[in-house]
Amino acid sequence: MALGANGLDLCGLAPDQAGMSTVRKLKRGDRLCVASHNKGKVREIGDLIAPFGVEAISAGDLNLPEPEETETTFIGNALLKARAAAQASGLPALADDSGLVVHALRGDPGIYSARWAGPDKDFAVAMQKVEDALRATQADDRTAHFICALALVWPDGEEAAFEGRIDGALVWPSRGDRGFGYDPMFVPEGETITFGEMEPDAKHAMSHRARAFAQLVAERFA
């Protein structure tokens, strides 16, 4: 779903209404600040950007502070992080806010997915918390989905946001050492292996991040 600066769905609007006639695009040779200190996330975004010749520089490499995520939606937090990085770096900034939504847990951990990993960002701990919470519910439902919100912001304030989703189910014990975050316990719909067992190219072809990125590329890459 492609969203405008105010979070409005742009589908169905005439080109002049949606601002499409003057959409700014990233082009080969541009530099882009990836507003994240998560090395796995930065690596995955870098892999997605690389074919377009855009140079990715992480907020961590630039020693930018991590803003407190105070919004209540994935899109809101992605915009918050991208705005902060764009202002601090003077570069267009791309931020990702993503998380695991577990249906039997009423959407948890959701926007708090990273916080469940604690200050050390230990996702083995986070996955155990998810499994313990599922067992406590005594529910048979192990369905879940990943959400990825991407926000692209320029230092002058122009911005756009996109959201992708992939559905699946959770397994335990976790399997695989690829990917990052909750990947080793998530089996995407129609597959038999977890994201943690999957080759990176296979994951990039279907993931929530890849789906959001496809929208970003279609609208904002030259």
pLDDT at 15: 41
Number of residues that make up the chain: 222
pLDDT at 92: 97
Sign, CA dihedral 199-205-208-210, equals positive
Q: Which amino acid is at 60?
A: G
What CA–CA distance (Å, rounded) separates 150 from 215? 10
Q: List, by residue number, the catalytic residues.
A: 97
pLDDT at 4: 52
Torsion of CA 90, 147, 102, 172, to 10 degrees: -90
pLDDT at 94: 97
Fold of 2-220: Maf protein (3.90.950)
Instruction: Kindly report the pTM of this predicted structure.
Output: 0.84
Q: How far is CA 144 from CA 2, 104, 118, 169, 218, in A?
A: 22, 8, 21, 5, 27
pLDDT at 164: 98
- Report domain extents, the chain: 2-220
Averaged over successive runs of 10 residues, the pLDDT of the chain (222 residues) comes to: 49 42 88 91 87 93 93 97 97 96 98 95 97 96 98 97 98 95 98 97 93 95 92
CB distance 84 to 67 below 8 Å: yes
pLDDT at 1: 61
**3 state SS of 137:** helix
pLDDT at 43: 87
